[in-house]
Amino acid sequence: MSTTAIDQSAISYQEKWLKQSLLLYKASPGISYLFLIATAVHHIFDKEGSCNGSRCTFWQHQAVTSFAQSGIMTLVYWVVLLALQVVYLLSLWSTEMVYYTVAVKLSAHYIASNLLLVAFMHLWVRQDF
């Protein structure tokens, strides 16, 4: 078998693999983003009891001191973070190859980041730190 035949079979295998995995790379960040949004909305608005024990909403865990973080700054941080992720998700469906290639290469990092943020929210609301 010549080297060109080996190269051609490797290229065709890689193209087949890319077609199968690119859909996964496009869908998974969106799914993890929706999971993050659903978790955030649940922990912001769900009032299970009146903050007795370890079940409070996200905003009820902050003690009022002179060094406490401002709720407005926290809200701005989350809005900017989630808005930038929307820009990233739109670049996954871009027709320009440069943006698309970078977005696909960063896909696993965004999935991991979203899942770690969900874990952080669960631990924070349940006071497991």
Q: What pLDDT, in 10s, does the model give residues 73-89?
A: 878 888 898 899 898 88
- Residues recorded for the chain: 129
pLDDT for res 32 = 94
CA distance 43 to 48: 10
Mean pLDDT of the 109-124 span: 89
pLDDT for res 10 = 45
Q: What is the pLDDT of residues 3-29, one digit of tens each?
A: 555 445 444 555 665 766 778 888 899
User: Is 37 within 8 Å of 31 (Cβ atoms)?
Assistant: no
CA distance 107 to 88: 9
Among 3-7, 50-54, 77-81, 95-99, the range scoring the smallest mean pLDDT is: 3-7
Among 27-36, 43-52, 111-120, the range scoring the smallest mean pLDDT is: 43-52
